[in-house]
Amino acid sequence: MSEPTVSRALPLWLTVVLGVAGTAVALWGIHAAAWFLGPVILAFVLTVVAHPLIGALERHGMRRGLAIAVAVLVVDGGLIAFTLAVVVSIGQLATVLPEYSDEWQALLGGLRSTLNGLGVGPEQVEQALHSIEPGAVAAVLGNLLSGVAGSIGALFLVAATALFMTAEAAGVPARLAEVPGTARLNEALGAFARNTRRYMVVTTVFGFAVAAVDTIALVVLGIPLAVLWGLLSFLTNYVPNIGFFLGLIPPTILALLVGGPGTALLVVVIYTVTNFVLQSVLQPVIVGDVVRLSITVSFLSVILWTVVLGPLGAILAIPLTLFVHAVLVGQDPGRRWARTLLAGASGGERAERRPARSGTRRPGRRVAPQATPPPPATAPKMNG
């Protein structure tokens, strides 16, 4: 008897082509509206992270309206404090660099001599060193500070959107639960929210540890603005994989100006060892186990979302990937293979492990012996 054939509405190759084309168009649309969608997505992630605070305050007797106000204050206040820290840090760096103009010129003179000794022409040397002269670096810092000041409108959009989202988030789970046929979607979105909070908690803890080690090392070496560079290493820890290099460059340059190549090399070694132990060995294992995303997926997601949303996409890469994972993969029970592959070396998902069989014995519990039933009584034989 032949097996029944399953007819497809569309050929498999056409389905794949349409899926890839639709994804490309969607990413292009997000990229075109990145100036608007980036702040909105950031407000959404901040709302997801701060949402449990409302329930915690209500359980302690606070009214819902006041609890929402406190959550909004935490979200918007933290965002404003972060922006002010970045502005003050750039301003301090722009103030300190001119104090080392003599050391910078001596360093550039040494580089000129080295390049000339290697046979590089004077014009090529000047073109190569023009971009790292003190005046050029100060101009770059000024443009960066102007760009941060010019993003006040985006900051206002994030704060206002977070305000409304936080106010409405308190009743969203209950409203979604009333919609029939959305049980799996609600479960997937709940997993996304939990994984996003876990990722933020783990990243914050490891960022604080890395910042503490880097700051202590810079203070011991006598590098100016050691606390500032520790804060920078803490903030760049939220950018997976490439954030380490962003936080390493400024203190290395100052170490080169203050103490020479030996001090700069020592800063690189300390940062590298700290990053390798905490961020490259421990943090990916814990993050991969907590949010169930492989290191490869995390790395590629940073590149993808940075291209789509710009620098803000590097910070939002993991939450965005978790959201896409929840909507496209998490709610479909037939795509367990995709969840297993995306989890990488962290293995299968603990939430989907098969329960133990009823006949197996759990460790630590005694199984009460079952009483054996008595043999059935036989009727007495009648003598004939």
pLDDT, tens digit, 9 for 90 and up, residues 54-63: 888 888 888 8
Global pTM reads 0.68
In a domain, 376, yes or no: no
Same-domain check for residues 153 and 89: yes
Cα distance between residue 331 and residue 335, in whole Å: 9
Same-domain check for residues 194 and 332: yes
In a domain, 307, yes or no: yes
Is residue 116 predicted with pLDDT exceeding 80?
no
In a domain, 154, yes or no: yes
In a domain, 114, yes or no: no
In a domain, 59, yes or no: yes
Cα distance between residue 321 and residue 293, in whole Å: 9
Same-domain check for residues 202 and 332: yes
Same-domain check for residues 237 and 209: yes
Q: Which residues contact 82 (CB under 8 A, 6 or more apart)?
A: 235
Distance (Å) of CA 301 to CA 46, 66, 99, 239, 308: 19, 37, 40, 11, 10
Structure confidence by residue, pLDDT tens digits, 173-211:
777 777 777 778 788 888 888 888 888 888 888 889 989
Q: Which residues contact 117 (CB under 8 A, 6 or more apart)?
A: none
42, 158 contact by CB (below 8 A) = yes
Is residue 218 predicted with pLDDT exceeding 50?
yes
Q: How many CB atoms lie within 10 A of CB 120?
A: 13
Question: What number is the average pLDDT over the span 249-265?
Answer: 85
- SS3 (DSSP) at 369: coil
Same-domain check for residues 269 and 198: yes
Same-domain check for residues 81 and 227: no
What percentage of residues in the chain have a pLDDT greater than 70?
72
Structure confidence by residue, pLDDT tens digits, 123-169:
776 666 666 666 666 677 677 666 666 667 777 888 888 888 887 77
Cα distance between residue 246 and residue 265, in whole Å: 16
Alpha carbon of residue 38 to chain centroid: 15
Same-domain check for residues 139 and 265: no
In a domain, 162, yes or no: yes
DSSP class of residue 179 equals S
Same-domain check for residues 209 and 254: yes
237, 214 contact by CB (below 8 A) = no
Same-domain check for residues 276 and 198: yes
| Residues of the domain holding 83 | 23-105+131-170
Single out the residue of 221, 217, 173, 191 nearest to residue 291, CA to CA.
191
User: How many domains is the chain built from?
Assistant: 2
In a domain, 70, yes or no: yes
| CA angle, 277 then 278 then 281, to 5° | 60
In a domain, 369, yes or no: no
DSSP class of residue 90 equals H
Same-domain check for residues 345 and 234: yes
Same-domain check for residues 93 and 230: no
Structure tokens belonging to residue 200? 């933020």
Same-domain check for residues 166 and 187: no
Of the residues 170, 200, 218, the one at which a domain ends:
170
